[in-house]
């Protein structure tokens, strides 16, 4: 065969190969990148897209291009939500039936209540990494600080995490008197220092962008989990963000709660006749001028902290747009639970610790070296118009803002009232990545099956719901319990916030949980109680002791597991010192006697 013919054939084969490769690429596009954004302790109406006066333009932009979930439920506390979010498994089965700080002694030995991820779960990071994704996490972890529970052992290639329930946002210090220093880890190794200009939200996005830059040329998609500390206590923010809101809250919590309720309704998130839950608030006018100014300042700091987080989210979005990755990226934004009403300053001991360690002056409030929390009245605004707050099974504790957005991923912009659960996130992310959930086993060991359903048919406009109308979904945390079925919710909260009785609500008409309908629907009321008993048995719910109060339990656990061991060590040290002095004196005495 002439050489020119052989050359022509090679060129033709090469062209056909390239055409075939191009066709294969067109028919099987690269899986999308995934950005999972989690806010901490932000209430239902704390985001502009959910009716807030707080400025969150970056999050609002994602919402305008995606789906707002008006009926999304997490658990009512940080670690349990994160456990289910990453595993798709009920938090009891994942090993986080309660938070470490609030777990009573009667539950401490159960594998369901260790407060860290158990051995029988696999995370979405592990599954995505196995499928070829680059994986990273930056932010609050709260799922364990031992090697087997740090991010590298749970599927993350790169990680920088704050391991505790929270920490200072400007310094490497604990926000509670139970620890002298917050625990930080990068890639599984403990950090000894943070940058001099450290602020948590900025640092987490700095690190995320840095991780995304690395190995970007590999062509692999990425999964980036960014877990902000905003707006967990201590509520802190650089002063310019706080000052944006100067005077915004001078009218008080009653006015602000009602205005948020109106905007939530106007935006189509809740029914027009939705009543504000949560009961009456203390009269703003009954406070002194000084008290009103200080309370308004706390909320200015809170709003500024949310805006600072939003600015960092915008910076991450800008980076992805500049690098041509935005259109093939799925964004999920949510809060881990409702706004927190806890105000530790009501404790005399905590106030004394604050006096020793933090500045609480009006002028500097929110800045580095200060400590504040918004308390129960502003929390009612954060969660407006829902009842309850963090830790409660009420809607204000569990119903939180959630947005899924992805401009190039066939997501139909809409607001959906469909009931959605935190367990639905993991199967959703796996499906869009083309990854199958584990079928009872992973890497040669048994694992819990994911319980949620994928949201992709819903966000693409192919379905109006995820869960069947007759499906019952149980819930329990720290003794507070609920069952959701269709439009109805069975609810029980422990004292002092609740009465330890079951109540029944029609959430389609009454998301504020203002009207108990158990007498009108006795059969449903009884049936849902039976559904709860089955749920509790299935996931291993343990009862809390008589008179249990999660706030008091934190104090008990601090005493038993922090202060008493240290006091015991101190006493042992004193005893050794006393015995050593006695031995030394006796030795000197014997020497003097021998010298005579």
Contact between 199 and 169 (Cβ < 8 Å)? yes
Other beta carbons within 10 angstroms of residue 47's beta carbon come to 25
- Please report the pLDDT score of residue 198 as a whole number: 98
Asked if the model's pLDDT at residue 4 lies above 70, the reply is: no
- Cis status of the peptide bond prior to 336, with omega within 30 of 0: no
One domain, residues 466 and 575: no
Structural domain includes residue 10: no
Residues β-bridged to residue 559: none
Question: Residue 26 corresponds to which tokens in the numbers above?
Answer: 């067109």
Residues 468 and 480 in one domain: no
Q: What is the CATH number for 487?
A: 3.30.1120.10
Q: Within this chain, do residues 333 and 417 fall inside the same structural domain, yes or no?
A: yes
Beta-sheet pairing, 488-492 with 480-485: antiparallel
In this prediction, residue 279 carries a pLDDT of 83
Residue 25 counted as domain residue:
no
Report yes or no on 50 lying in a domain.
Answer: yes
- Both 483 and 508 in one domain: the answer is yes
Residues 437 and 532 in one domain: no
pLDDT at 550: 87
Q: Decide if pLDDT at 7 tops 60.
A: no
- Report yes or no on 22 lying in a domain: no
Considering only CA atoms, which of 495, 469, 466, 484 is closest in space to residue 532? 484
Distance, in Å, from the CA atom of 149 to the CA atom of 157, rounded to the nearest integer, reads 14
pLDDT at 8 over 60: no
Q: Do 454 and 521 lie in a common domain? A: no
- The pLDDT confidence band at residue 13, using thresholds 50, 70 and 90, is very low
Instruction: Give the pairing type, strands 33-39 and 222-227.
Output: parallel
Domain containing 353: what range? 38-224+233-473
The answer to whether residue 419 is domain-embedded is: yes
Q: Does the structure show a pLDDT above 90 at 539?
A: yes
The rounded distance, in Å, linking the Cα atoms of 178 and 553 is 13
Asked if pLDDT for residue 403 goes beyond 90, the answer is yes
The predicted structure's pLDDT at residue 23: 39
Report the C-alpha gap between 139 and 379 in whole angstroms. 23
Q: Which residues are catalytic?
A: 78, 142
Q: Which residue has the higher pLDDT, 267 or 581?
A: 267
Is the pLDDT reported for residue 27 higher than 50?
Answer: no
Average pLDDT over residues 497-501: 96
Q: Is 368 exposed, middle or buried (0-12, 13-18, 19+ CB in 10 A)?
A: middle
Percent of the chain surpassing pLDDT 90: 81
pLDDT in tens, 227-239: 999 999 999 999 9
Q: Which pLDDT score is estimated for 585?
A: 83
In this prediction, residues 271-285 reach a mean pLDDT of 91
- Cβ atoms of 37 and 223 closer than 8 Å: no
The pLDDT of residue 28:
52
Q: Which of 418, 448, 473 is the last residue of a domain?
A: 473
Cis peptide leading into residue 152 (ω within 30°): no
Alpha helices in 323-384 (DSSP H): 348-357, 375-382
Beta pairing partners, 160: 138, 186
Segment 132-180, tens digit of pLDDT: 999 999 999 999 999 999 999 999 999 999 999 999 999 999 998 877 7
CB atoms near residue 217 (< 10 Å): 7
pLDDT tens for each residue of 351-373? 888 999 999 999 999 999 999 99
Are 440 and 566 in a shared domain?
Answer: no
The sign one gets for the Cα dihedral 533, 539, 540, 542 is negative
* Cα 476 to Cα 539: distance, rounded to the nearest angstrom: 10
pLDDT (tens digit per residue) in 103-138: 999 999 999 999 999 999 999 999 999 999 999 999
* Cβ atoms 389, 402 nearer than 8 A: no
pLDDT for the residue 566: 61
Domain match, 560 and 414 both:
no
The rounded distance, in Å, linking the Cα atoms of 219 and 225 is 19
Token reading at 51: 């009716």
Residue ending a domain, among 473, 489, 514, is 473
For residue 412, name the pLDDT band (cuts at 50, 70, 90): very high
pLDDT level of residue 584 (50, 70, 90 thresholds): confident
Token look-up 């006749």 returns: 273
Q: What phi and psi, each to the nearest 5 degrees, are found at residue 473? A: -120, 115
Coarse DSSP helix, strand, coil percentages of the chain, rounded to the nearest 5 percent: 40, 15, 45
CA distance 368 to 298: 14
Give domain status of residue 389, yes or no. yes
Listing DSSP states for 489-555 in one string gives: EEEE--TTTS-S--EEEETTT-TT-----TTT-HHHHHHHHHHHHHHHHHHT--PPPTT--HHHHHH
Same domain, 347 and 461: yes
Distance from C-alpha of 328 to C-alpha of 75, rounded to nearest angstrom: 30
Q: Where are the beta strands (DSSP E) in 112-157?
A: 134-140
- Stretch 194-211: mean pLDDT: 97
**pLDDT band of 1, cuts 50, 70, 90:** very low
Q: Give the whole-angstrom CA distance, residue 274 versus residue 122.
A: 40
Please provide the distance, in angstroms rounded to a whole number, between the alpha carbons at the two ends of the chain: 120
93, 149, 228, 382, 595 from 167: Cα distances, Å = 27, 19, 11, 21, 62
Same domain, 498 and 586: no
> For residue 379, which phi and psi values (nearest 5 degrees)?
-65, -35
Number of domains in the chain: 3
When pLDDT is cut at 50, 70 and 90, the band that residue 570 belongs to is: confident
More confident residue, 343 or 303: 303
Q: What is the 3-state secondary structure (H, E, C) of 435-450?
A: CCCCCCEECCEECCCC
CA separation, residue 448 to residues 91, 93, 122, 244, 466 (Å): 11, 7, 8, 47, 21
**Strand pairing category for 66-69 and 402-405:** antiparallel
pLDDT digits (tens, 9 = 90+) for 83-94: 999 999 999 999
486 and 565, same domain (yes or no): no
CB of 73 closer than 8 Å to CB of 338: no
pLDDT at 559: 72
Least confident piece of the model among 18-22, 125-129, 410-414, 510-514: 18-22
Q: What is the pLDDT of residue 428?
A: 98
pLDDT tops 90 at residue 348? no
Counting residues of the chain whose pLDDT is more than 70, the rounded percentage is 94
Q: How far is 513 from 44, CA to CA, in rounded Å?
A: 15
Three-state DSSP class for residue 122: coil
pLDDT (tens digit per residue) in 461-485: 999 999 999 999 999 999 999 999 9
User: Tokens in use for 125?
Assistant: 């990071």
Determine if the pTM surpasses 0.95.
no
Q: How many helices (H) and strands (E) does the chain have?
A: 16, 18
Which domain-ending residue is among 440, 473, 506?
Answer: 473
Q: Which residues contact 277 (CB under 8 A, 6 or more apart)?
A: 385, 386, 387, 388, 394, 395, 396, 511, 512, 513, 514
454 shares its domain with 571 = no
CATH number of the domain residue 65 falls in: 3.40.720.10
C-alpha distances (whole Å) from 214 to each of 207, 277, 286, 364, 493 are 11, 48, 57, 39, 47
Q: Is pLDDT above 60 for 34?
A: yes
Q: How confident is the model at residue 596 (pLDDT cuts 50, 70, 90)?
A: low
Residue 134 and residue 433 in contact, taking contact as beta carbons nearer than 8 Å: no
pLDDT average, residue stretch 235-257: 98
Mean pLDDT of the 306-320 span = 98
- Residue 583 backbone phi and psi in degrees, to 5: -60, -40
Is 18 contained in some domain? no
**27 in a structural domain:** no
Tell me the average pLDDT across 185-214: 97
């Amino acid at each position: 065969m002439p050489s020119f013919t052989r050359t022509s054939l090679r060129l033709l084969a090469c062209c056909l190969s390239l055409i075939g490769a191009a066709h294969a690429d067109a028919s099987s596009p690269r899986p999308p990148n995934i950005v999972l954004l989690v806010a901490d302790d932000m209430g239902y109406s704390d985001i502009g897209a959910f009716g807030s006066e707080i400025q969150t333009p970056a999050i609002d932009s994602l919402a305008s291009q995606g789906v707002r979930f008006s009926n999304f439920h997490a658990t009512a506390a940080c670690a349990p939500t994160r456990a289910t979010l990453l595993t798709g498994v009920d938090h009891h089965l994942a090993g986080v039936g309660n938070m470490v700080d609030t777990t009573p002694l009667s539950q401490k030995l159960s594998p369901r209540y260790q407060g860290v991820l158990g051995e029988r779960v696999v995370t979405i990071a592990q599954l995505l990494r196995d499928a070829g994704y680059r994986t990273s996490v930056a932010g609050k972890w709260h799922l364990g600080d031992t090697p087997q529970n740090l991010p590298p052992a749970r599927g993350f290639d790169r990680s920088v995490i704050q391991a505790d329930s929270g920490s200072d946002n400007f310094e490497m210090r604990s926000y509670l008197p139970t620890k002298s220093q917050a625990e930080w880890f990068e890639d599984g190794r403990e950090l000894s220092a943070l940058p001099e200009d450290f602020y948590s939200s900025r640092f987490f996005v700095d690190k995320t962008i840095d991780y995304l830059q690395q190995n970007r040329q590999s062509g692999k998609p990425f999964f980036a989990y960014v877990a902000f500390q905003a707006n967990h206590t201590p509520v802190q923010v650089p002063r310019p963000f706080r000052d944006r809101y100067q005077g915004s809250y001078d009218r008080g919590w009653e006015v602000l709660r009602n205005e948020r309720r109106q905007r939530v309704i106007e935006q189509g998130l809740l029914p027009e006749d939705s009543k504000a839950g949560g009961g009456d608030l203390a009269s703003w006018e009954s406070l002194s001028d000084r008290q009103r100014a200080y309370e308004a300042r706390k909320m200015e700091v809170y709003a500024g902290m949310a805006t600072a987080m939003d600015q960092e989210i915008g910076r991450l979005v800008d980076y992805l747009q500049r690098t041509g990755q935005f259109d093939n990226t799925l964004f999920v934004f949510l809060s881990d639970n409702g706004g927190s009403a806890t105000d530790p300053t009501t404790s005399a001991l905590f106030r004394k610790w604050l006096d020793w360690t933090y500045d609480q002056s009006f002028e500097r409030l929110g800045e580095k070296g200060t400590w504040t929390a918004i308390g129960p009245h502003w929390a009612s605004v954060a969660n407006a118009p829902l009842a309850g707050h963090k830790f409660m099974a009420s809607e204000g504790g569990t119903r939180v803002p959630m947005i899924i957005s992805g401009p190039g991923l066939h997501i139909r912009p809409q607001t959906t009232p469909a009931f959605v659960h935190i367990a639905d996130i993991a199967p959703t992310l796996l499906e869009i990545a083309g990854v199958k959930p584990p079928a009872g086993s992973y890497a040669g060991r048994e694992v819990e099956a994911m319980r949620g359903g994928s949201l992709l048919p819903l966000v693409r406009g192919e379905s109006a719901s995820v869960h069947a109308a007759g499906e019952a979904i149980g819930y329990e945390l720290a003794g507070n319990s609920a069952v959701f079925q269709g439009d109805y919710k069975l609810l029980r909260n422990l004292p002092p916030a609740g009465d330890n009785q079951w109540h029944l609500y029609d959430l389609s008409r009454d998301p504020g949980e203002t009207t108990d309908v158990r007498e009108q629907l006795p059969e449903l009321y009884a049936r849902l109680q039976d559904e709860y008993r089955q749920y509790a048995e299935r996931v291993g719910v343990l009862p809390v002791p008589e008179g249990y109060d999660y706030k008091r339990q934190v104090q008990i656990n601090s005493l038993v597991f922090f202060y008493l061991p240290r006091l015991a060590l101190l006493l042992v040290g004193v005893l050794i010192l006393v015995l050593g002095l006695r031995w030394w004196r006796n030795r000197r005495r014997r020497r003097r006697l021998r010298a005579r």
